[in-house]
Amino acid sequence: MTSPAPILVGNIGNLFWMRVDGKGSFQNSVQVKRCFQTMIEKGTRHFVVDLERCPIMDSTFLGTLTGAALNLREIGDGEVCILNANARNRQLLSSLGLDHILDVDNDGSRHQVERKQVCDELGKCNENASPDKVEQAEHVLEAHEALTKANEANASRFKDVIEFLEKEVRSRAVAVA
């Protein structure tokens, strides 16, 4: 298996900026989730996910971004803004109905000043500890549940995946106990 794409992060003005340097996938989505959780706990409410170097995202990664946006909605404040998405990623966001949950910048007009600062400011995310198999399975399940919560039409798309993952999580929990 190839190593997960690095996630670069930093504060740019009042924004927490996250750049995906490769494929957004289940392999780096736990790291992204932990990063969002840490920053939300610290009071950060405005996030940018920069997809300029991200050719594609899988459903787990998309669910992770969606879960963060839904958490901010529950808090009642904040946003997850998607910048520099290529046509394929924009189509994924749109077809899953996530462009109503995530603030997708389609015309490149958002955060112009911060875009110029970003290259000098980003460093690797410190949430590097690899998840164990139970945490990974639980995370993939949560990500897919977030996709169905964000858009009811996604329930039929991910029904089988969710059922499989629920069984997987139960069996792994029993094996650990």
Cα 2 off chain centre by: 19
Q: Report the number of distinct structural domains present in the chain.
A: 1
Q: What's 83's domain CATH number?
A: 3.30.750.24
Is 164 a member of any domain? yes
1 domain residue, yes or no: no
Angle of helix 133-150 relative to helix 26-41, nearest 10 degrees? 80
2 domain residue, yes or no = no
Nearest to 7 by CA among 25, 106, 141: 25
**pLDDT for res 113:** 79
The answer to whether the CB of 114 falls within 8 A of the CB of 82 is: no
Residue 78 to residue 28: CA distance in whole angstroms: 23
Enclosing domain of residue 121? 7-176
Alpha helices in the chain (DSSP H): 26-41, 59-75, 87-95, 112-121, 133-150, 154-176
Taking residue 98's Cβ as centre, other Cβ atoms within 10 Å add up to: 23
Tell me the pTM. 0.78
The fraction of the chain above a pLDDT of 70, given in percent, is 89
Q: What is the pLDDT along the chain (177 residues), one digit of tens a residue?
A: 577 888 889 888 889 999 999 999 999 999 999 999 999 999 999 999 999 999 999 999 999 999 999 999 999 999 999 999 999 999 999 999 999 999 999 888 888 778 777 766 666 555 556 677 777 788 888 888 988 988 888 889 888 888 888 888 788 666 655
Q: What does the mean pLDDT of the chain come to?
A: 87
The tens digit of pLDDT for each residue in 10-25 reads: 888 889 999 999 999 9
20 contacts 5 by C-beta, under 8 angstroms: yes
**Residue 160: left if φ>0, alpha if ψ -120 to 50, beta else—which one?**
alpha
